[in-house]
Structures are given as structure tokens and as C-alpha cells.
């Protein structure tokens, strides 16, 4: 009986598979980009960016327009997505095998998927440290997208996560940037007493919570353990530091945020707005957000935006000098017919003039090109942020791009549960462990 069911199922599956025509080439390592190939300045370049929306959207539009002035035969197709929408969109495009010539990537597992899938052109001959183009970049930025000694992406800008604070409010209340986690929590009660929302926090999309968690994990979990836990093959996820970090996170949500357990219903943009309007004292943000939070016409711009690294607990067991954040870059599609042209465009995008433009307001994206972030063109917080990123002992990639999607998704759900107080750190860790072992 059982056997017949099985064979029936196999038959069904076989028939269905035959119909679904699963003859696929499979992945081969992508061929290296020929450094001597002359780009043909014709055709259309399609680009998937993460610069959708205000104020970033014009950056690639301007780049494209200027490049077109130099090479009128080239046209562009820009797909500009946002931080939130680019994740699903990238998956859809990948599954449809419709990835454009140039596309955005985070470092970590996110980039490795494209590299392993043969979707990322090997840029080693043109961008490795020591090459003419490669020498323009900080070496660590290039290495963020390297695998087995090969280089696969053009790092566009660096990034790091900082607590941004309103300098006027801090000064009024006699507060200084806290140096330990406990100090942070006690400054929250001062702010609350003065009628401000201490930290504005909007976790509707889940990842803002993940950013807190990953930074705290870096502080509380020994670096080696943390790294090996990112990969399901080696993950154990048993370190006590995870539980301690999650406890710290819930303390922060309950003691410091105005929305508390309700934060899962608030958009991160609403939280950002609260700092910009001087309603909240702090908002945890990426360097990328500095210039748009403290935009020219905002109250925060007048009050002054200060930043500090999320303080670690005094007895942290991990690496209290590590900072969360990693360069973000652009991959050239290995299957692109215009690879040489795409590389030429990316060289243009990262020339010193465009790098400086990127690093200045209103964009405020600290270019990975050496010397682009300078007092002449970048805002104070951006310069300070980059300085601290460079001084940090290690850069820890975002939790949602460093590990495999199923594990990242389990952390995301767990983070939301911690915010709402519906699960204990133990339960969250157990569910992540389950997701990780299923993803082996």
C-alpha cells in the first residue's frame, strides 16, 4: 500500500517535472572581466539601485545624464528601489532571470549568493587592490565583496550604524553621549522626565530591530563564535551572549522608546521624522540617513545632529570595539552583454568628482573612494561616522544580509516578538536555531 503511494507520487512528480522543463545549465564560475576590452558605447544599461525616493533618487539620474553627454549612444534603464523594497525585488528579478546589467548588493551572504550562482562578473583584473581603478578604494571596502581571492563588486560607499542625537536637547538636559549601555538607559529617563521621547523607534518592517540586535550581538558574543554562527553549516547558536544582548534590547525598547511594545506598528520613517522634528532625543540610524534626517529645512539641522556608537555594556564578552555596518556595492551581471560598458560606467560613477558629490549633502553617502569624504564637501556627522568606522576593530555586516534568508527571517520574527514581549530571548534563540539547522 505504502509502496504504491510512493511510486504514484514519484510518477506524478516525474510527470510534473518533465512538464516544468527543469533543464538548467547550473552554475559555473563567472569568467573574469577582460581588462583590455574596449567598451562599445552603444546600447542600454539597466541598473538596479537602492537610491529610490527622496533625497537619493536624483543621484543615479544625474550620473546617467552626464554619462550620456559623454556617450550619446548609451541609454539607461534605472530601477530605483528603496531599502525596504529592494529585497523582494531582487529576488523576483533573480528568479525571473531578469537581473539588470548592474545591480546593488549588500556584503555577506547576500553578495555570495550572486557570486556562487555565477551572476556576478569577476572584476579581479580591473578592481583588485593594486590595479589602477582598485587603488582608488580603501582595501577593506574591496575585500567586503571578495571571495577566494577574487573581487566581485564595486564598493560605492561605506556605512555604519550610530545613535544620532539632538545636540540642543542633550545640552539643555546636561547629557553627554553615554559610554556604557547602562548610562544610555539612565539618560533615557532624563529625557523622558523632560517630556521628550528618548529614542524614537519604528519596527514595522522588522529590520530596525535587527540592527540593534546585531550590534549588541557583536558586543556580547565572542567574534569567532558569532562569525561561525552566521553560516548554517557551522552554526551552534548557543552562546549566552545572545540572551544577554536580547535582554538589553528589550530593556532599551521598554525604557527608552516612546512606543514601547507598540513599536511594531510604527514606520521607521515616522521615527526618523520624530528626531528630525526635535520630538525625540535619539534615533538609531545609518550614516546614509544622517543628511536626510538632518535635512536643510529640519529642526534637527538647527539643533545639531550628534552621533555616538551604541554603547556596549561594561562587562561585554564580545568585541566592544566592533561596529555594525559594511560597505554597499554594485555588481556587474556576469550574463550582461554590456559588461565592459557597465564597468566603464561604474568607473565614471566612482571618479573623484562623483565620489565627492555622493559624499556631500543632500546625499551624504560616504563614498568608498579614498579622500572623497572631506571637510570640504561632507557634513560633520558623516565625517565623524566614517572616522569611527575606520577606527573600529571590526565591521559586522547587517544580520539580514550576513546570514541565509531563512535564518535572517527567523531573527526578524524573533526581534518583533521581543519588542512585543510575546517571546523570551530563550524562545527566540530556539526558533532561530531551528531555522538554521533546517537551512543546513
Partner 1 sequence: MVTRSAVLLVLGRVLVKAFLIALAVVVIYPLVWMLLNGVKSNSELFSNPFALPVAWKWDNYVTAWNRGVGDYLTTSVLVTVASTIATVFISAWAAYGLTRVNIPFNRVVLILILGGLMLAPTVALIPLVKMFQSLGLYNNLWALLILYTAFRVPFTTFLIRAYMMDLPAEVDEAASVDGASKARAFWQVILPMCKPILVSTVLLNILFTWNEYLFAMVFTSWGALQTLPVGLTNLMSKHGTDYPVVFAGMAIAAIPVIVLFFAGQRYFIRGLADGVGK
Partner 2 sequence: MTVSDTAWKPAAPPPASVSPKSPKNRAAKSARTRRWRNIVWVLPAVLLLGVFAYLPLVQNLGFSFLKWDIYSGRQTFVGADNYVRMFNDPIFWKSLLNNTLYAIISIAFQVFGAMILAAMIEGLRSQRWRGILRAVYFVPSAISLTVAGLLFYFIYEPEMGILNAALDFLGLGNFTQAWLGQENTAIFAIIAMSQWQGFGYCTLLFSVALQRIPSELYEAASIDGVGPFQRFFSISLPLVREMTGLMMIVTVSGAFQVFNEVMVMTSGGPNNSSQVLGTWLYRSGFVRNDFGYAAAVATAVFIITLILAAIQLRISKKRRVQW
10 Å Cβ neighbour count for 22?
Answer: 8
User: Of 219 and 268, which CB lies nearer to partner 1 in the complex structure?
Assistant: 268
Listed in sequence order, the residues at least 6 apart from 84 whose beta carbon sits closer than 8 Å to its beta carbon are: 205
Question: Does the footprint of partner 1 cover residue 5 (CB under 8 A)?
Answer: no
Exposed (0-12), middle (13-18) or buried (19+): which is 315, by Cβ within 10 Å? exposed
Length in residues, the chain: 440
CB 176 to partner 1: min, Å? 29
Question: Does the footprint of partner 1 cover residue 80 (CB under 8 A)?
Answer: yes
Contact in structure between 398 and 108 (CB atoms under 8 Å): yes
Taking contact as CB under 8 A, which single stretch among the options 79-87, 208-216, 304-312, 431-439 is the one that binds partner 1? 79-87
Listed in sequence order, the residues at least 6 apart from 186 whose beta carbon sits closer than 8 Å to its beta carbon are: 178
Exposed (0-12), middle (13-18) or buried (19+): which is 26, by Cβ within 10 Å? exposed
Contact in structure between 342 and 45 (CB atoms under 8 Å): yes
Among 20, 28, 36, 375, interactor with partner 1 by CB under 8 A? 20
Question: Does the footprint of partner 1 cover residue 250 (CB under 8 A)?
Answer: no
Considering only residues 37-66, where is the footprint of partner 1 by CB under 8 A? 52-54, 57
Question: Does the footprint of partner 1 cover residue 362 (CB under 8 A)?
Answer: no
User: Of 25 and 195, which CB lies nearer to partner 2 in the complex structure?
Assistant: 25
CB 53 to partner 1: min, Å? 3
Question: Does the footprint of partner 1 cover residue 270 (CB under 8 A)?
Answer: yes
Among 85, 186, 352, 374, interactor with partner 1 by CB under 8 A? 85
User: Of 301 and 347, which CB lies nearer to partner 1 in the complex structure?
Assistant: 301
Nearest in space to 281 (alpha carbons), one of 163, 169, 161, 162: 169
Which three cell numbers, joined as nine digits, stand for 340? 565592459
Report which secondary-structure segment, H or E, holds 360.
Answer: none
In sign, the C-alpha dihedral spanning 44, 49, 53, 58 is negative
Q: Which residues bind partner 2 (CB under 8 A)?
A: 9-10, 12-13, 15-20, 22, 24-27, 87-88, 91-92, 94-95, 97, 113-114, 116-119, 203-206, 259, 261-266, 270, 404-406, 409, 413-414, 416-417, 419-420, 422-423, 438
CB 262 to partner 2: min, Å? 3
Listed in sequence order, the residues at least 6 apart from 267 whose beta carbon sits closer than 8 Å to its beta carbon are: 202, 204, 205
Residue 77 site contact among partner 2, partner 1, none (CB < 5 to 8 Å, cut-off depends on kind): partner 1
N-terminal to C-terminal alpha carbon distance within the chain: 33
Among 45, 47, 63, 93, interactor with partner 1 by CB under 8 A? 93
Distance CA 217, CA 219 (A): 5
Among 49, 84, 200, 326, interactor with partner 1 by CB under 8 A? 84
Among 4, 5, 36, 97, interactor with partner 1 by CB under 8 A? 97
Taking contact as CB under 8 A, which single stretch among the options 94-102, 111-119, 135-143, 174-182 is the one that binds partner 1? 94-102
CB 383 to partner 2: min, Å? 33
Contact in structure between 208 and 306 (CB atoms under 8 Å): no
Question: Does the footprint of partner 1 cover residue 273 (CB under 8 A)?
Answer: yes
Pairing of strands 102-105, 328-332: antiparallel
Taking contact as CB under 8 A, which single stretch among the options 230-238, 269-277, 303-311, 383-391 is the one that binds partner 1? 269-277
Residues that bind partner 1 (CB under 8 A): 20, 52-54, 57, 77-80, 82, 84-85, 89, 92-93, 95-98, 267-270, 272-273, 276-277
Amino acid at each position: 500500500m505504502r509502496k504504491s503511494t510512493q511510486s504514484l507520487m514519484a510518477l506524478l512528480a516525474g510527470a510534473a517535472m518533465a512538464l516544468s522543463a527543469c533543464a538548467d545549465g547550473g552554475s559555473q564560475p563567472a569568467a573574469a572581466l577582460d581588462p583590455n576590452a574596449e567598451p562599445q558605447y552603444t546600447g542600454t544599461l539597466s541598473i538596479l539601485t537602492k537610491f529610490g525616493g527622496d533625497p537619493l533618487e536624483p543621484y543615479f539620474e544625474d550620473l546617467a545624464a552626464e554619462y550620456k553627454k559623454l556617450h550619446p549612444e548609451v541609454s539607461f534603464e534605472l530601477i530605483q528601489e528603496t531599502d525596504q523594497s529592494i529585497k523582494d525585488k531582487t529576488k523576483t528579478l533573480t528568479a525571473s532571470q531578469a537581473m539588470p546589467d548592474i545591480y546593488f548588493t549588500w556584503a555577506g551572504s547576500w553578495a555570495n549568493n550572486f557570486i556562487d550562482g555565477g551572476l556576478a562578473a569577476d572584476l579581479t583584473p580591473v578592481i583588485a587592490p593594486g590595479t589602477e581603478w582598485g587603488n582608488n578604494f580603501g582595501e577593506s571596502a574591496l575585500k567586503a565583496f571578495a571571495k577566494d581571492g577574487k573581487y566581485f563588486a564595486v564598493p560605492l560607499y561605506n556605512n555604519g550604524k550610530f545613535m544620532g542625537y539632538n545636540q540642543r536637547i542633550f545640552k539643555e538636559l546636561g547629557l553627554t553621549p553615554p559610554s556604557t549601555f547602562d548610562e544610555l538607559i539612565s539618560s533615557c529617563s532624563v529625557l523622558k522626565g523632560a517630556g521628550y521621547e528618548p529614542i524614537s523607534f519604528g519596527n514595522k518592517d522588522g529590520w530596525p530591530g535587527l540592527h540593534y540586535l546585531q550590534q549588541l550581538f557583536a558586543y556580547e558574543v565572542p567574534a569567532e563564535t558569532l562569525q561561525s554562527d552566521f553560516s548554517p553549516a557551522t552554526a551552534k547558536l548557543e552562546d549566552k551572549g545572545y540572551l544577554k544582548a536580547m535582554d538589553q534590547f528589550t530593556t532599551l525598547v521598554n525604557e527608552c522608546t516612546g512606543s514601547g511594545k507598540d513599536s511594531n506598528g510604527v514606520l521607521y520613517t515616522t521615527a526618523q521624522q520624530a528626531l528630525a522634528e526635535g520630538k525625540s532625543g535619539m534615533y538609531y540610524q545609518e550614516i546614509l540617513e544622517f543628511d536626510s534626517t538632518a535635512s536643510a529645512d529640519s529642526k534637527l539641522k538647527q539643533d545639531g545632529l550628534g552621533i555616538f556608537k551604541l554603547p556596549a555594556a561594561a562587562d561585554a564578552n564580545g568585541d566592544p570595539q566592533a561596529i555594525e555596518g559594511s560597505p554597499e556595492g554594485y555588481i556587474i551581471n556576469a550574463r550582461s552583454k554590456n559588461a565592459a560598458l557597465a564597468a566603464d560606467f561604474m568607473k565614471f560613477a566612482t571618479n573623484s568628482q562623483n565620489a565627492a558629490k555622493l559624499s556631500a549633502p543632500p546625499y551624504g553617502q560616504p563614498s568608498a573612494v579614498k579622500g572623497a569624504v572631506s571637510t570640504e564637501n561632507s557634513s560633520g556627522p558623516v565625517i565623524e561616522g566614517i572616522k569611527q568606522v575606520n577606527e573600529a576593530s571590526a565591521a559586522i555586516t547587517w544580520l539580514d544580509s550576513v546570514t541565509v534568508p531563512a535564518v535572517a527571517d527567523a531573527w526578524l520574527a524573533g526581534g518583533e516578538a521581543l519588542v512585543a514581549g510575546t517571546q523570551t530571548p530563550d524562545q527566540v534563540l530556539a526558533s532561530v536555531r531551528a531555522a538554521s539547522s533546517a537551512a543546513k
